[in-house]
Amino acid sequence: MAKESASAAVTSADVARLAGVSRATVSFVLNDTQAHRVSDTTRARVLAAADQLGYVPHAAARSLRAGRSNLVLMPTSVSAVGRLVSAWLDDLHSELERHGYTTVLHAGRFSDAVGAARAWAELRPAAVVALDGGSLTAEAAGVLRRAGVRAVVGFAARPVEGVYTVAFDHARIGALAAEHLISRGRRRIGVVMPKERGLDTFARPRLAGAESVAARSTSTVNAVEMAYTRQSAAELAARWSELGLDGVFAYNDEYAALLVRALQDEGISVPEDVAVVGCDDLVLAALERPALTTVRLDLPAPARIADALHTLVDTGKAPGMPGMEPVLIHRQSS
């Protein structure tokens, strides 16, 4: 309470001193070491001392000694994850906590895969889970493994060497949207590419998926850039007629909603003039006027991911995981 001046952190040695025992005994008591018995009286003294000093173990020192940490690192910028994923992330966090892991998000910039991996590796996490599988090259995974990371997990379309890959095919999303638009008779299809950084690793494969579908038909696909601002949407809508698009996959429900509004303000009607498809099936998608056609993503159950991660850390092997299979939800905007 009154030891305000003591700026140095409390260590187990302080607890030992106060309790009048050795540091080893303190360790045995606080960790409930079964292999070693301590008398009830000294145990009580140690616990009292620890409580009085407000002792908290030093995670770094502990995992340094143990040779392994209980940290799970999830590299992702906060603003890059939408409502859908953020709720999923929270659940996954809870599940991992039940397994004794400390989950932590790190919003690194993804410009350089190996550089990013190096930064993550410094923390020596037990596992690295990248939602953005694109940031995990085989080389980056190598950096992590060499730094002792037990489990390197990535959400990606195709397996990467050294990465435990959970199937997550963004190209399939784009393909699904394009197939739907074509089946609705649209021939000149736009795909919105967000200008916001961090989203291109998701957006690019979606575009590619749409393009590959169009290549097998008489329809065409064009990328159109747009930032998530009112102005950018308005600018895009203003030059819509010269683009001559009659269908658009808007990356996201939020981008879709923004674009629809801008188009309507320009006198372009949805779905008559332009059919619009979003993604994520957010709450707002069903509420839009017209209600948004969207691609729903059923994310893998957090509990199963957590289990797989745990056995992966423990044994080095893990069972195959069910991936994500996108489903198109047809509503009024297309």
Partner DNA sequence: CACAGCGTGTAACGCGTGTAACCTTGTTCG
Partner DNA sequence: CGAACAAGGTTACACGCGTTACACGCTGTG
String marking each residue 39-68 x if it binds DNA according to CB under 7 A: x-xxx-----------x-xx--xx-xxxx-
Residue (122 or 272) nearer to DNA, CB? 122
Shortest CB 120 distance to DNA, Å:
15
Q: Are 120 and 75 in contact (CB under 8 A)?
A: yes
- Could you tell me the smallest distance in angstroms from the CB atom of residue 68 to DNA? 10
Chosen residue from 31, 52, 79, 86 binding DNA by CB under 7 A: 31
Of 109-148, which residues contact its own copies (CB under 8 A)?
109, 118-119, 121-124, 142-143, 146-148
From residue 63, alpha-carbon distances to 12, 52, 247 in Å are 15, 25, 54
Question: Which is closer to DNA, CB of 20 or CB of 267?
Answer: 20
Q: From the list its own copies, DNA, none, which binds 317 (C-beta under 5 to 8 Å, kind-based)?
A: none
Cβ nearer to its own copies, comparing 136 with 214: 136
**61 lines the binding site for its own copies (CB under 8 A):** yes
Please report, for residues 96, 99, 133, 270, 302, the alpha-carbon distance to residue 317 in angstroms, rounded to integers and kept in the order given.
18, 17, 19, 50, 18
Nearer to its own copies, 163 or 257 (CB): 257
Is residue 177 within 8 A of residue 277, CB to CB? The reply is: yes
Q: Is 7 in the site for its own copies (CB under 8 A)?
A: yes
Q: Is 184 in the site for its own copies (CB under 8 A)?
A: no
- Considering only residues 77 through 106, tell me which ones interact with its own copies, judged by CB under 8 A: 77-79, 81, 83, 86-87, 89-90, 93-94, 102-106
Dist. CA 228–CA 303, nearest whole Å: 33
Which residue ranges make up the site for its own copies (CB under 8 A)?
A: 1, 3, 6-10, 53-54, 56-61, 63-64, 69, 77-79, 81, 83, 86-87, 89-90, 93-94, 102-107, 109, 118-119, 121-124, 142-143, 146-148, 228-230, 254, 257-258, 261, 283-284, 286-287, 289
Which residue ranges make up the site for DNA (CB under 7 A)?
A: 8-9, 11-13, 20-25, 27-28, 30-31, 33, 35-39, 41-43, 55, 57-58, 61-62, 64-67
